């Protein structure tokens, strides 16, 4: 009986941890996507005055959020996104609209891909 209680308790803790981690991941990805949309709007409007500083701030935000996220997800996804963000900051520094938009779309793809990989569905379980 004691083993059954311990096993059930561990199962409940594991489920609660999964719910917390998926909620945290979704909240973080939503925030990052909102920042991407803001940057995309500024680039499309060619508002270059603050875009470079905003891109650096976004890079730092991703790096800060990457540490806890790497517990839940494959760090390779985060590394790829960080590498693309380093390129993005240089594209914004030199006001290269096409490359900046392309790079930002790659970052958005990585964020969406991270969210898709963590959804609970049959494809991700098996």
Model confidence pTM above 0.85: yes
Q: How many of the other CB atoms lie within 10 Å of CB of 89?
A: 18
Closest CA to 52 of 81, 88, 103: 88
The torsion angles phi and psi of 74, rounded to 5 degrees, stand at -65, 125
DSSP of 17-47:
HHHHHHHHHHHHHHHHHHHHHHHHHHHHTT-
Half-sphere exposure of residue 123: CA atoms within 13 angstroms, side-chain side = 4
**What is the model's pLDDT at position 124?**
63
**What is the model's pLDDT at position 119?**
78
pLDDT in tens, the chain (126 residues): 889 999 999 999 999 998 899 999 999 999 999 999 999 999 999 988 899 999 999 999 999 999 898 888 888 999 999 999 999 999 999 999 999 999 999 999 999 999 988 877 766 665
Write the CA distances from 114 to 1, 16, 30, integer angstroms. Answer: 40, 20, 11
**What is the model's pLDDT at position 126?**
57
**What is the model's pLDDT at position 117?**
86
User: What CA–CA distance (Å, rounded) separates 107 from 88?
Assistant: 9
**What is the model's pLDDT at position 120?**
73
Write the CA distances from 30 to 6, 63, 87, integer angstroms. Answer: 36, 16, 22
**What is the model's pLDDT at position 52?**
94
**What is the model's pLDDT at position 108?**
97
Domains belonging to the chain, first-starting first, are 2-125 (1.20.120)
């Amino acid at each position: 009986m004691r083993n059954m209680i311990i096993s059930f308790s561990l199962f409940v803790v594991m489920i609660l941890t999964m719910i917390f981690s998926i909620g945290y991941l979704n909240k973080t990805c939503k925030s990052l996507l909102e920042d991407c949309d803001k940057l995309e709007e500024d680039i499309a409007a060619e508002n270059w005055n603050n875009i470079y500083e905003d891109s650096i701030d976004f890079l730092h935000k991703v790096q800060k959020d990457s540490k806890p996220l790497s517990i839940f997800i494959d760090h390779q996804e985060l590394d790829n996104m960080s590498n693309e963000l380093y390129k993005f900051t240089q594209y914004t520094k030199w006001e290269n609209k096409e490359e900046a938009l392309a790079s930002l779309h790659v970052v958005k793809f990585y964020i969406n891909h991270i969210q898709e990989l963590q959804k609970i569905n049959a494809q991700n379980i098996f």
